[in-house]
Amino acid sequence: MTATTDGSTGALPPRAAAASEIPTETTPVAAGTVETRDVAKYAIQRATDHLLSRQDAEGWWKGDLDTNVTMDAEDLLLRQFLGILDETTARAAGLFIRGEQREDGAWATFYDGPGDLSATVEAYVALRLAGDAPDAPHMTKAAAWVRERGGIASARVFTRIWLALFGWWKWDDLPELPPELIYFPKWMPLNIYDFGCWARQTIVPLTIVSAKRPVRPAPFPLDELHTDPDNPSPVRPTAPVASWSGVFQRLDKALHQYRRVAPQPLRRAAMNAAARWIIERQENDGCWGGIQPPAVYSVIALHLLGYDLDHPVMRAGLESLNRFTVWREDGARMIEACQSPVWDTCLAAIALADAGLPADHPQLVKAADWMLGEEIVRPGDWAVKRPHLPPGGWAFEFHNDNYPDIDDTAEVVLALRRVRHPDPERVEKAIGRGVRWNLGMQSKDGGWGAFDVDNTSPFPNRLPFCDFGEVIDPPSADVTAHVVEMLAVEGLAHDPRTRRGIAWLLAEQEPNGSWFGRWGVNYIYGTGSVVPALTAAGLPGSHPAIRRAVGWLETVQNEDGGWGEDLRSYDDAAEWSGRGASTASQTGWALLALLAAGERESKAVERGVAWLAETQLPDGSWDEPYFTGTGFPWDFSINYHLYRQVFPLTALGRYVNGEPFAEVEGG
């Protein structure tokens, strides 16, 4: 354990004022009438009170997690497939989906984004299930938009799989995914552990679905979504045999031929082995991996193998999916792709501590108690690559013991270090296990991925089946940075493993001075993660890499003083890197980097702090409709509702109180 010079555990000093001492809502504070520091203190007080008010009685925080309407559409399609879709659910889901439609008739996958073909197809079908007539104006507009972009034939594979379940698409016109994949040894290319954990959990049940090729009666035709209803699946050209695309296209054709001659005993055994793999990974709450897509496909796969809806596995699975439902005040029903209580709680604890909340504040202690209770102390899929590494990490969700992640583990350790807990020995043991586990999960190149070690095979992304999102989990700058920061705080800045991580980060810096953000949008997130890590590990603010990062952040600051970056930077970095409407979370990230680099007195920091103070709402929160979280770069985006609260508060706290652990020895 590292300690500050006064012998404490690195916690920050208490707040300067109690809640009763802050100005009232009738006492407006403008940035132009008081010093920026005083404005920041006032904003901190209001934000702190707001965040404290949102804590659950058990000690955790969780904000809503917005993604896009495909979650809601697929939930209705699942219920239709299982024969359990009811009118109330369909009506509430339809209300939400309808409200997300763009003026041009399409649906986007993030706020203010362009229309997305697959999302629009799925939303349209869901509204048909909810009772919307195809000749209704909003439906005809959507159908026309789909046809103009190639119709269903141009939608992604996963969308066409959903349609194939009802005969709206031919199984023969989908990539083959054989269940025999479950037998591939771990050294063999394209074995299931070559895929990232989220893809692995989805692909295994889909091998059963692909083998069974079920077709349930379609409740209506979808001719209006085809450019040519008489020829809905035009022949696609085959890529040259010398290209990787050509190789895998021909492999898929061979697998279609194999399907016709596959030994049935082997196929049945493979499906049963896949079913055992699925059931072994069902969590205690009935879900799979704590995320909606694997849970949906696992329920379908097991149902196809004869598991009825009253079977305990199925019943628990369906109940877990119900817990992803968020009911809006207007009666609309939104489905979360997953839930983020561990992530939200550790970030909230860090924000509150850095804002000056006393380290032994009862709500911080309660948060620490809850996080300690969420530690995962049994092996999961990660042990395939690290069989001798003792467990000791944290996951993202309420229940996900099979897939703790490196990012959450690093941030939980950083959060626990900020709390003065009445049982310090318990905290020390948990932190020790987390640090040991994270160190053991370092990839051979020196970086850290999110869930697995050396998950870098070049083959999975080339499969015709994988045309949507990332399916591997290579090291990323943001995760690696959080681990390096955590190791530095633990006094391990000079450990050879930490130095390898630092070297990896320095090598990954973009020519313009930024870092790519894998799990947050995008270069602002990457830069806001890396710079604090490098300085915590001992790099001075004068280091060339730090100066390049500072220079980049200053050049992309918006005229209003904030920072923002549109998700289109994943698709077009040259045009969109660091560019977009100012948001509270991204402004917070930029400020965290600048403050860590020693720019506290700079004009850029002053303007950023002023922007946060000026845009804070009366209740102490910030409004942020823009999506700043990332599931898959460009393909799947997230609006974490708590990001708009925790990151501005963290930045303001560090502006007023200084960098956390600044006096830690050994870093």
Q: Which residues are catalytic?
A: 407
Q: Which residues of 144-162 are buried (b: 16+ CB within 10 A; e: fewer)?
A: ebbbebebbbbbbbbbbbb
First to last CA, the chain: 12
- Please give the torsion angle defined by the CA atoms of residues 169, 467, 519 and 497, in that order, rounded to the nearest 10 degrees: 140
For helices 496-508 and 477-489, give the axis angle rounded to 10 degrees.
150
- Of 354, 358, 357, 417, nearest in space to 653 by CA: 354
Give me the residue label for tokens 């082995």.
273
Per-residue tokens: 389: 């590494």
Residues 6+ apart with CB under 8 A from 478: 407, 515, 517, 518, 519, 520, 525, 526, 529, 530
Q: What is the DSSP string of 563-605?
A: ----GGGGT-HHHHTT-SS--HHHHHHHHHHHHHTT-TTSHHH
What three-state secondary structure class fits 363? helix
Single-letter amino acid, residue 224: E
CA–CA separation, 91 vs 75, rounded Å?
A: 13
List Cα–Cα distances, 127 to 70, 96, 113, 248, 642, in angstroms. Answer: 12, 10, 21, 36, 30
Nearest to 238 by CA among 254, 255, 253: 253
Q: Strand 629-632 relative to strand 636-640: parallel, antiparallel, unpaired?
A: antiparallel
User: How far, in Å, CA of 74 to CA of 89, rounded?
Assistant: 13
Q: Using only C-alpha atoms, what is the Rg of the chain?
A: 25
Q: Please state the φ and ψ torsions of residue 473, each to the nearest 5 degrees.
A: -130, 65
- Tell me if 341 sits within 8 A of 398, measured CB to CB: yes
172 DSSP 8-state letter: G
Residue for token digits 């626990």?
416
Q: How far apart are CA 157 and CA 162, in angstroms?
A: 9
**Which pair of tokens denotes residue 402?**
């099979």
Contact between 380 and 402 (Cβ < 8 Å) = yes
Strand order in the sheet with 629-632: 65-66, 636-640, 629-632
Structure token digits, residue 660: 């956390």
